[in-house]
Amino acid sequence: MRISDRRFALFLMTPAALFLAVFVAFPLFRLVADSFFKISPIAGGPRDFVGLDNYVRAFASEAFTGAGWRTLAYTLVVVTLEFALGLGMALLFTMLGRSSQIWRTVFMYPLMIAPIVAGLLWKFLMIDNFGLIGTLLHQAGILSNPNQIGWLSDPNIVLYSVAIPDIWLTTSFMCLVLFAGLQNIPGDLIEAARLDGARAPAMLFRIILPLLRPVIAVALVVRGIDAARAFDTILIQTNGGPQSASETMSLLIYRTMIRFGDPGLASAMGTIYLLAMLAVAFFAVATIWRPGKDT
């Protein structure tokens, strides 16, 4: 009475698969289904089938296209900066070797902090009037007035200001992953390049970065997906304002659903957003990562 290995493997996976089917796949199905209806926000209210009307409205609305571009810009800024900073720190730790181990751990601390707390903490540093950054820059003589830069109130720069907590939170993650990758570079390869007279930039761009490519790809994709979904840090800092200048896709969908009470439209936006994320992620994985054979 021994079931085959294949059945047994299936038996082991079934509970988790069922869980994901019920609590992820089914809500997603509901989301897509809702996107074809005009839904009253009141529970038990009318549901009218409207075909693709919600999609037409989404693409026609400036809020939606604007949020799309902002999400893209936000993601690019966050991922680029934290990659540069994370790589810098990883190289620094590698060059210092074992003696830097304690500091490597301390450097991880933001990863444990809730994004909501991080957003709050940076808001407190950047806010007009009693924000510390403006004051310090003023005292250092860089700004003529502590409020000269409206970090969170100037619509032209707010999108980049709200990205700071996100960068601060997860540069550690980048650093950690890249550091692990750097440890796997054979020491003799570096030695050989050094004997050939490679200088620092050549070493970095011709040897280290190409060797790190798979690790970099994974780190960028993982972080890109997270950054494109950013919600907590932005909500607490600006709630998408001023004048929607920091309203990214997650915030727009949330507001459309909760504030404006239009679940149908929000579902259509959510569906487009999800499809776009999947497309970008698959493209990224296929082109830069070249998925491995195992698992």
Partner 1 sequence: MRVAEKTTHDAGTSATAAAAPSARPAVVRPRRRRGVNREGLEAGRRGTRTLLWILLAAAMVLYGFPFLYLLFTSFKTPIDTIAVPPTILPREWTLENYTNALGRNGVLASFINSIQTAIISTLLSLLLAVPAAYGITRYKTLSGRIFIMAALVTRMVPPVAIGIPLASMMASMGLSDTPIALSIAHTTISLPLSIWLMASFFEAVPKDLEEAATVDGCSRLGALWRVVIPVVSGGIAVTAIFAFLASWNEFLFALLMTAIRSQTTPVVIANFQTQFGLDWGSMTALAAVYSIPVILLTLLLQRKIVAGMTLGAVKG
19-78 residues in contact with partner 1 (CB under 8 A) are 19-20, 23-24, 26-28, 30-31, 34
- Residue 186 sits in the site that holds partner 1 (CB under 8 A): yes
Question: Which of 109, 141, 210, 287 is close enough to bind partner 1 by CB under 8 A?
Answer: 109
User: Is the CB of residue 227 less than 8 Å from the CB of residue 166?
Assistant: yes
CB-nearer residue toward partner 1: 150 or 232: 232
Residues 121-140 that bind partner 1 (CB under 8 A): 121-122, 124-125, 129-132, 135, 138-139
Question: Which of 17, 52, 56, 286 is close enough to bind partner 1 by CB under 8 A?
Answer: 17
Spatial distance between the Cα atoms of 96 and 93, rounded to a whole number of angstroms: 5
Question: Which of 120, 137, 211, 288 is close enough to bind partner 1 by CB under 8 A?
Answer: 120
CB-nearer residue toward partner 1: 156 or 200: 200
Contact region with partner 1 (CB under 8 A), list: 47-55, 56-64, 150-158, 167-175: 167-175
> C-beta of 114: minimal distance to partner 1 in Å?
4
Question: Which of 72, 73, 76, 92 is close enough to bind partner 1 by CB under 8 A?
Answer: 92
- Residue 115 sits in the site that holds partner 1 (CB under 8 A): yes
* Cα within 13 Å of Cα(155), Cβ side: 6
Contact region with partner 1 (CB under 8 A), list: 47-55, 74-82, 151-159, 173-181: 173-181
> C-beta of 142: minimal distance to partner 1 in Å?
15
CB-nearer residue toward partner 1: 124 or 156: 124
> C-beta of 77: minimal distance to partner 1 in Å?
19
Residues 194-213 that bind partner 1 (CB under 8 A): 208
Question: Which of 84, 96, 202, 209 is close enough to bind partner 1 by CB under 8 A?
Answer: 96
- Residue 281 sits in the site that holds partner 1 (CB under 8 A): yes
CB-nearer residue toward partner 1: 16 or 60: 16
Spatial distance between the Cα atoms of 181 and 176, rounded to a whole number of angstroms: 9
